[in-house]
Structure 1
Amino acid sequence: MVSKSDVGIILMNLGSPDTTSVPDVKRYLNEFLMDKRVIDYPWLFRKILIEGIIVPKRAEKSAEAYASIWWDEGSPLIAITRQLQRAIQHDMEMPVEIAMRYGNPHPEVAFNNLLKQNPKLKEVILLPLYPHYAMSSYETAAEYAKEIYKKKKYSFKLSVIPPFYDEPDYIQALAESIRPYLQQDFDYFLFSYHGLPERHIRKGDVTGSHCMKVNDCCHVKSKTHDFCYRHQVTITSELVAAALGLPKDKWGISFQSRLGREEWMKPYTANTLESLPKEGKKKLLIACPAFVSDCLETLEEIAVEGKHTFLNSGGDSYTMIPCLNVHPLWVKAVVKYCMQVMQQ
């Protein structure tokens, strides 16, 4: 067993542009969208599509969106991740650093900062801050960190914490962060998750014969569930709904942030927000469990655009519930996950 004094921790999140300027947003979007695990087309086609079409069209609008949610201390996602870092550092003896998959701080900087604090470092515990496994989120973060680790030939051991979508401490933290909002009158509770192309779900099926092929595939036991985003978000939602005592007819799941024209996971959040008022569900609570830190996709897409869509479609009230951020039970859960790795 490695001594606590020989261990370092890295919290790894998605990332943000350095500023809200169009050039910085362009750099960020290029890095993000050129990731082969995000848009998995052949490299040349991906480069032409992203650098020639998508980024030139989206950069200015994206810069405006970032500017609308930017904090005095910078990107909300990075600021919140730093808050989580400080909260965890308060409860742990070993040093804690943060890294981003795209943008700054880079994983190499985090590795080197830990070494500066302890040149005799024997183990680094990496926690990708994604509850659910997806090629374009958890996998790309974990594999990117591993690539840098191997390239730099660090002598310490790198241990990566797996997705925690059904871990009791995560479910409890998520449920308790939501519970106070249930005191207000509401007709419906919506779990909105970041979407994926349906093709990604099929591609991630390690059996080649389960996902979207077997009836009720998310509930039929399969080894592919360890890598299936659809299964994992379904289980998270069911566990949280059960913990909160939500009736089955009073909650649902939808998927946001669609990009491009191909078929993505359904139902789409935007369409759901339009249809709910027509079904008499006019008082809405909405949460985004795919994210542990509030970011552009929650603060702008859901809190602003989503609210506008829902109210303009006939809704009466709309409340977006913040992500876990630095909820005390979430901090406690992260500390526990790291300690469990150390004891292995």
Structure 2
Amino acid sequence: MKKGVLLVNLGSPDSPTPKDVKPYLDEFLMDERVIDVNPVLRNIIVRGIILNTRPKKSAKAYAKIWWEEGSPLIVLSERFMAKVNKDIDIPIALGMRYGSMSIKNALQELKDQDVDEVLLIPLYPHYAMSSYETVVVKAMEVQEEHFPEMHLTTLPAFYSNEDYIKVLSKSISEGLQGFDYDHILFSYHGIPERHIRKSDPTKFHCKLDAKCCTTNSVAHHTCYRHQCYDTTELVKKELGLEEGKVSTSFQSRLGSDPWLQPFTDKEFERLAKEGKKRLVVITPAFVSDCLETLEEIAMEGKEEFIEAGGEEFRHVPCLNDRDDWAKLMSNWINEWQANETLPV
């Protein structure tokens, strides 16, 4: 069997215009693992309410961060793939869960190179049904329908991998240089609390209290909340960060249902009012800078912190196309190619 690699990231509209943002949002929000309600209700919420106003607002946000080459997430993902490709000797393709750079097109690209054994790499460090899981399910659906001769192997969520933590910590350390911070906030993408319970294979462990995420359980393999807090703790230990100067929060909530707390925007206000004047924000749920990091955090978040009384704000970039991150990914791929070993 000929092996190949499929990298999959979130995706992006083709341009920062309402015309292109609307179909992108439609595909994204109609995903049953993103808005996990009755299909009829989801259709009403998305197509009857959200898509009547959101595309125009989102297009303005995308326009703020759009690069001359295109969407930052797409450009950075392509740069990352190009660097990884230099250190591997099997075909590699890039697809997106949503948008025109589809998983189907990427698998077709691999098929055209006679690949029939594919390492699927969701570019998400943590497991969540609305990110990692939906990529895996979509890829399997496309493979079964259009490429039945292919076999997929999926890279596990790598949030606690020792080498990944070292690369992430090094990038953060470099981002902290020359900045006398008062506090470091690790901001992860938010999800509804019900997603945590739905992903719990035991159906009883995840209580979203102060204990379940630190009590050992098989549920942690699919618990986004536990994995986010674990990443924070592992980086804190790797860098020797002071306990009282580090905290975790969750951003980008949608709708009125309970979402993971504390909320990042509320933390900006709280920290400023508590006298934290110089804030650093890390966004480890993303490996590539995108709308949620460049606009929501680096722009809006900075404004919110300053307006609440803060003075200096620094957003540490995602791993993006760092050489050490690309090298680590190529090492994982080469290990899989050689002996089908995957990182743990």
TM-score (norm 2): 0.96
What is the aligned counterpart of 1:86 among 67, 82, 86?
Answer: 82
Contact 1:134–1:228 at 8 Å: present in 2 too?
yes
CA distance in 1, matches of 2:136, 2:66: 27
> In 2, Cα distance between the equivalents of 1:204 and 1:114?
31
1:8 is the counterpart of 2:4 = yes
Offset, 1:215: 4.9
Higher alpha-carbon deviation: 210-219 or 165-174: 210-219
Distance in 2 (CA, whole Å) between partners of 1:181 and 1:153 is 43
2:110 paired with 1:114: yes
Structure 2 unmatched runs, 5+: none
Residues 189, 284 of structure 1: 8 Å contact kept: yes
- Tell me which residue corresponds to 1:164: 158
Equivalent residue number for residue 253 of structure 2: 258
**Runs of 4 or more consecutive aligned structure 1 residues displaced over 3 Å after TM superposition:** none
1:318 alignment counterpart: 313
How far residue 151 of structure 1 moved from its aligned partner, in angstroms, is 0.6
1:142 is the counterpart of 2:142: no
Q: Post-superposition shift, 1:23?
A: 1.5
Map Cα deviations across residues 48-70 of structure 1 (whole Å, 9 max, x no partner). Answer: 11001012121100000001101
1:240-251 equivalence runs, <5 A: 240-251=235-246
Q: Following the alignment from structure 1 to structure 2, what is the Cα–Cα distance between the partners of residues 243 and 334?
A: 20
Residue 154 (structure 1) shift: 3.2
Deviation at residue 153 of structure 1 after TM alignment: 3.5
| Residues 274-320 of structure 1: CA deviation (Å, up to 9, x unaligned) | 01011121100101000000000000000000000000100010000
1:157-205 alpha-carbon deviations (Å, 9 max, x no partner): 2111110010011111110001023232000000000001111111211
Q: 1:210 to 1:151 in 2, by over 3 A?
A: same
Code of the residue aligned with 1:318 in structure 2: it is F
In the superposition, relative to structure 1, how do residues 31 and 339 fare at CA in structure 2: closer, same or farther (>3 Å)?
same
**What is the one-letter code of the residue matched to 2:10?**
L
**For each residue in 1:90-120, what CA deviation from the matched residue of structure 2 results, as whole angstroms up to 9, or x when unmatched?**
111112110000002111111111122x22x
Q: Does 1:131 align with 2:91?
A: no
Matches within 5 A, 1:264-303: 264-303=259-298
1:181 aligned to 2:175?
Answer: yes
1:127 alignment partner, SS class:
strand
Aligned-partner SS, 1:189: strand
The whole-number CA distance in structure 2 between the counterparts of 1:96 and 1:49 is 37
Aligned residues: 338
Structure 2 CA distance for aligned equivalents of residues 207 and 308 of structure 1: 42
Cα distance, 1:93–1:224 mapped onto 2, change above 3 Å: same
1:68 matched to 2:64: yes
Taking the aligned partners of 2:217 and 2:336, their CA distance within structure 1 comes to 26
Deviation at 1:214, TM superposition (A): 6.3
CA distance in 2 between counterparts of 1:127 and 1:56 reads: 34
What is the SS of the residue equivalent to 1:59?
A: helix
| Alpha-carbon distance between aligned partners in 2 of 1:65 and 1:128, rounded to the nearest angstrom | 25
Contact 1:254–1:272 (8 Å) recurs in 2: yes
Q: Distance in 1 between matches of 2:259 and 2:10?
A: 21
Letter in 2 for 1:195: G
Q: Which runs of 5+ in 1 are unaligned?
A: none
Query: Are the equivalent residues in 1 in contact too, given 2:249–2:267 (CA < 8 A)?
Result: yes
Please point out which of 142, 145, 148 is paired with 1:151.
145
- What RMSD in Å do the two structures reach over aligned CA positions? 1.1
Counterpart residue number, 1:207:
202
Letter of the structure 1 residue corresponding to residue 241 of structure 2: L
SS at 2:184's partner residue?
strand
> 2:301 — aligned with what?
306
Query: Does the aligned pair in 2 maintain the 1:125–1:161 contact within 8 Å?
Result: yes
The residue number in structure 2 matching 1:220 is: 215
Does the CA-based 8 Å contact 1:194-1:255 persist in structure 2?
yes
Q: Is 2:228 aligned against 1:233?
A: yes
Equivalents in 1 of 2:288, 2:172: separation in Å? 14
Share of identical aligned residues, percent? 48
Letter in 2 for 1:285: V
Instruction: Name 1:328's counterpart in structure 2.
Output: 323
Amino acid at match of 1:252: S
Query: Residues 159 and 341 of structure 1 are in contact (CA less than 8 Å); yes or no, is this contact kept in structure 2?
Result: no
